[in-house]
Amino acid sequence: MKKIFSLLFLLTSFLIIAQESSKEFQDSLNKDYSNREKSPLSSEDFASFKSLDFFPINTKFIVKAKFVRLPNEKIFKMKTSTSRAPEYVKYGELIFTIDGKDFKLNLYQNIELIKKAGFEDYLFLPFSDLTCGKESYIGGRYIDMKIPKGNTTTIDFNKAYNPYCAYNHKYSCPIVPLENDLEIAILAGVKKFHD
């Protein structure tokens, strides 16, 4: 009985911490978008901006994932919304379960970005799902991640954000690879900006 209680306590503690982390991320995003120097918003949108629209934070979309490193992948040019073609490598796979269904997403590493201080362990997780074009941005969303220290990691879809292209066409944004299209509605993270 003590073991069950301890496990429940640990799980509850993890979920509370995860929710706080999701909220901090969303507050930080709103702060950046409210800052004229950091915001991707057009001047017109910035003038009336109050907050991004988020799905309610949902612990169902904070998932433990098995991480599989893919060490022999070749560098490729990722398509973007412009003619820019940044170089990426498929770094690994994340395998996880939501509502009893198994899913897989690929993690990517930007070849130029990892040369910059502070980004050596940065990984890029772009995805699209069944909310795209409805509740969320049609082009999909992104999650920033770090290289996992072991063979498991956590994906917090509450931290999913829109590419800058969702707000302003002057930006060049990576297009979500087809292999990262999820057959599920991820009701978490940032919603679309314009109806």
Cβ atoms within 10 Å of 7's Cβ, excluding its own: 10
92 part of a folded domain: yes
* Count of structural domains, the chain: 1
195 part of a folded domain: no
DSSP label of 81? S
Task: Decide: 128 and 122 in contact? Cβ < 8 Å.
Answer: no
65 part of a folded domain: yes
189 part of a folded domain: no
187 part of a folded domain: no
> What average pLDDT does this structure show over 7-11?
42
Kindly report whether the global pTM for this prediction surpasses the value 0.75.
Answer: yes
Task: Decide: 97 and 103 in contact? Cβ < 8 Å.
Answer: yes
Residue type, 34: S
186 part of a folded domain: no
Determine the structural domain holding residue 29 and report its residue range: 2-180
**83-133 per-position pLDDT tens digit:** 999 999 999 999 999 999 999 999 999 999 999 999 999 999 999 999 999
120 part of a folded domain: yes
Residue 71: pLDDT above 70?
A: yes
**147-176 per-position pLDDT tens digit:** 999 999 999 999 999 999 999 989 999 999
Q: What is the reported pLDDT for 21?
A: 87
Q: Residue 41 — φ and ψ, nearest 5°?
A: -65, 150
What is the band of 16 on the pLDDT scale with cuts at 50, 70, 90?
very low
134 part of a folded domain: yes
